[in-house]
Amino acid sequence: MKLIVLGSGTCVPSLKRNAPGYFLESEGMRILVDCGSGTLLQLERAGKSYKDIDAVFVTHLHPDHFADLMPLIHALLATPKFKREKKLLIAGPAGLKEYYQNAFTPIFGRRELIEIAEIQGEIEFEPFSISSAKTIHSPESLAYRIESGGTSIVFTGDADYDERLIALSNNADLLITDCSFTHSLKMKGHLSAGECGLIANKAGVKRLLLSHIYPSDIPDSERVREAGEVFDGEVVLAEDLMEMVI
């Protein structure tokens, strides 16, 4: 799988870090995990086209994780000299269908090219196999484990420390965590850098990518140091437009 970090930031506007969004590609299929504001521009900067996106998997219904979903659909439906032929799957937690019906359908009408799915447990979207776990954040928030070609990536989404994250991340090739703050600034509903390292250690993952970075006066290197105190594998701080092959 090829991963591009489109946004390693949060709801707080930043010139350095876009709102959350990740691009995954495997066997010619391309998906987004979260689609925060600015994701479409980040796709352009990464040399990837919004026209080629096959599915969007939303971790939860906070605006910084799906705000560019409406602009994405608008672009797919209204770009001159372009006609979308394949369906776009939009998948996410409980409540997604109702939200789409209330907020999107009045604008775009009913579109056969848009498929909405609420994930309960697992979903197959070849060549991707996606499993999920409830997280401690919002009433509907999910973490995803995405597997393809014998490799696995786990996205915690926004989450607090939880044994379910450890189980979902078991032996994953890459764990991408909500690393909102260092331990000294710990906030309920979000992981600290040390907790990210602890989950990675207990789950036995190969690599840890710290993302969802809130602006702070504390140097970014402190997050890596703190996570590394409890996880002896590779710890990387996410940067926008960073590319990784898993």
CA dihedral 112, 113, 118, 122 (to 10 degrees): 130
Mean of pLDDT values over 94-103: 96
Q: What share of the chain is helix, strand, coil (3-state, %, to 5)?
A: 25, 30, 45
> What is the predicted pLDDT for the residue at 21?
98
What per-residue confidence (pLDDT) applies to 185? Answer: 87
Which pLDDT tens digit goes with each residue over 5-61? 999 999 999 999 999 999 999 999 999 999 999 999 999 999 999 999 999 999 999
CA 17 to chain centre: 14
| Annotated catalytic residue 52 | no
Residues 34, 52, 54, 64: which is the catalytic one? 64
User: What percentage of the chain exceeds 90 in pLDDT?
Assistant: 95
- For residues 112 and 228, the model is more confident at 228
For each of the domains in the chain, give its residue range(s) and CATH number, in order of start. 2-245 (3.60.15.10)
CB atoms near residue 36 (< 10 Å): 24
pLDDT on residue 111: 84
Q: How far apart are CA 217 and CA 203, in angstroms?
A: 30
pLDDT, the chain, mean? 96
pLDDT value at 110 more than 90: no
User: Quick one: how far is CA 182 from the chain centroid?
Assistant: 20
Q: What is the mean pLDDT of residues 93-98?
A: 96
Query: What pLDDT, on a 0 to 100 scale, did the predictor assign at position 125?
Result: 97
**Using one digit for the tens of pLDDT, what is the confidence trace for 149-174?**
999 999 999 999 999 999 999 999 99
How sure is the predictor about 246, in pLDDT bands with cuts at 50, 70 and 90? very high
Environment class of residue 242 by beta-carbon count within 10 Å: exposed (0-12), middle (13-18) or buried (19+)?
A: middle
Tell me what pLDDT residue 184 has.
87
Q: What is the mean pLDDT of residues 112-130?
A: 95
Q: Supply angle C-alpha 160, 166, 170, rounded to 5.
A: 150
